[in-house]
Amino acid sequence: MTSTLLDHDRITVASSFVPLLRLHGLDTFEKVMQYPGGQVIRDFPGRRTVRLELPPAPGAPAAVFLKRYEAGYLSAGRRLLRRLGWRSAQDEARREWEGLAAVRSLGIATATPVAFGQELQGGLVTRSFLMTAEIVAGVDGDRHLRNLPAVERGPFLGRVAELAKRVHSAGWVHKDLYVSHVLVAPGSGSGAEPTLFLIDLQRLIQPTSWRERWQVKDLGALAYSALKAGASPKDLLTAWQRYCGTKELSKAQRSEARRVLRRVAWLKTRTPKHDKGFQQLK
């Protein structure tokens, strides 16, 4: 993917999208950060995600998702870690931009990158944004799983588990691998399986240590969210077998499964920060 720098290098744009952004006056950092309207998708303190329709011509609508990070998103502690160069505290917009490229290089479908921008103060990124193209007809995996007949839930989770295995085998961890962060869109061609898109990559990392621990956290989040969406223990077993690539699990694979289940049990005891609709699982 070729890119173009705009606004004195404050914005990096996938070159094919430069005309679209210029058409809508989104060719400077401030214009993007102040752009009004759009459908609010998520709204956390200091971070908002909106869906914008940016038609390139009458009758030909296009939509993008815009994540904006304001200065208030950074706590004092996170500012310090960012200044010290702590990898996981660095700007999430840039990290997701790079994560999109990394996931695409693995042959995994994800959102199409449009642009990202940063504002620095004293050498520290304090405000930023990421823009990606809408995945047409994409449905989040949580809703898709809830709407599936019971007999189809295990095979679907098996496909998600294979996706997770590809990420982990390449040395990456997602760090937010809930089933809702897999989008499901119609496949191309008659009778084709739906395409799975891995999204929300702002925390994607390649840890140099404790990688197995992070992988267990990924798998625990996936299992926990799948159970919330109606999956059964048998469905989780199907997914785990697909992740391991065998139905005859080794002693080490059974041991790792127990670690994942302990993570699920721990998640059941807490309300995640942005999971206000959490209901205790029995």
pLDDT tens, the chain, 282 aa long: 899 999 999 999 999 999 999 999 999 999 999 999 899 999 888 899 999 999 887 766 689 999 999 987 777 777 666 766 666 667 889 999 999 999 999 999 999 999 999 998 887 888 999 999 999 999 999 999 999 999 999 999 999 999 999 999 999 999 999 999 999 998 776 677 999 999 999 999 998 888 999 999 999 999 999 999 999 999 999 999 999 999 999 999 999 999 999 999 999 887 655 444 434 333
Helix (H, G, I), strand (E, B), or coil: what is residue 67? strand
- Tokens representing 151 are 């007999």
What is the distance between the alpha carbons of residues 155 and 5, in angstroms, rounded to a whole number? 43
With a CB cutoff of 8 Å and minimum separation 6, the contacts of 144 are 156, 184, 194
With a CB cutoff of 8 Å and minimum separation 6, the contacts of 117 are 7, 10, 11, 12, 29, 32, 33, 93, 128, 129
The residue whose two tokens read 């993008």 is: 64
What is the distance between the alpha carbons of residues 180 and 140, in angstroms, rounded to a whole number? 5
- Tokens representing 42 are 């998520």
CA 222-226-232 angle, to 5 degrees, is: 130
pTM of the model: 0.90
What is the distance between the alpha carbons of residues 8 and 25, in angstroms, rounded to a whole number? 16
Asked if 239 contacts 227 with a C-beta cutoff of 8 angstroms, the reply is no
CA of 101: how far to CAs of 159, 201, 204, in Å? 21, 10, 11
Residue 266 DSSP symbol: H
Helix (H, G, I), strand (E, B), or coil: what is residue 53? strand
Axis-axis angle for helices 211-228, 251-268 (nearest 10): 60
pLDDT value of position 278: 38
pLDDT value of position 202: 93
Asked if 119 contacts 76 with a C-beta cutoff of 8 angstroms, the reply is no
